[in-house]
Amino acid sequence: MNDDLKALIRTIPDFPKPGIQFRDITTLLLNAEGFATSIARMAAATLGPVDLVAGIEARGFIFAAALAVPLKAGVLLIRKDGKLPGVTIAEDYALEYGTDRIAMHEDACAPGKRVLLVDDLIATGGTARAAVRLLRKAGAVVEQAQFLVDLPDLGGADALRAEALSVDSLVAFPGH
């Protein structure tokens, strides 16, 4: 399923370091029909109505904005800490070596709002799990996350499922 979309995603070997098979979605984004089909299929997979589509910086913004239109929802930006101009709330998450921090505007999500989390790719799930914690800290109801690409061998989608989320992706690639 979705082999038509998978064929539009370029693999670049040994980027950003040897042994990594980088899944480059820019080739899908350049294809108007492929991008539109991706958004239509993600919209069709959305569970129930949502108030906001939260996109994780930076490629997640593309999918969140496009998906919000057919879902008649607003767009909530989850950014690297220090990038938003207003008062923010933030969440730390672990990296391979060290930690990072994501943030959102404190007033971006009223308690009880139904939020769909979206990003281009799920790998280990560290950033997505931090985004879920951040949204829930704000009082959001987060029950589903969607991704264009899943790298299931890295376990991120399973980690989100362990946090009571329905997780959908359009395509999956083995390895990392």
User: What separation in angstroms does the CA of 53 have from each of 3, 23, 58?
Assistant: 25, 23, 14
Contact 2, 171 (CB under 8 A): yes
How many C-beta neighbours within 10 Å does residue 150 have?
A: 22
Q: Residue 176 is encoded by which pair of tokens?
A: 């990392």
Q: Residue 135 is encoded by which pair of tokens?
A: 């949204």
Cite the active site residues: 59, 96
Cα 26 to the chain's mean position, in Å?
A: 15
3-class SS at 18? coil
**Phi, psi (5° rounding) for residue 49?**
-75, 150
Q: How many CA atoms lie within 13 A of 29 on its CB side?
A: 12
The amino acid occupying position 110 is A
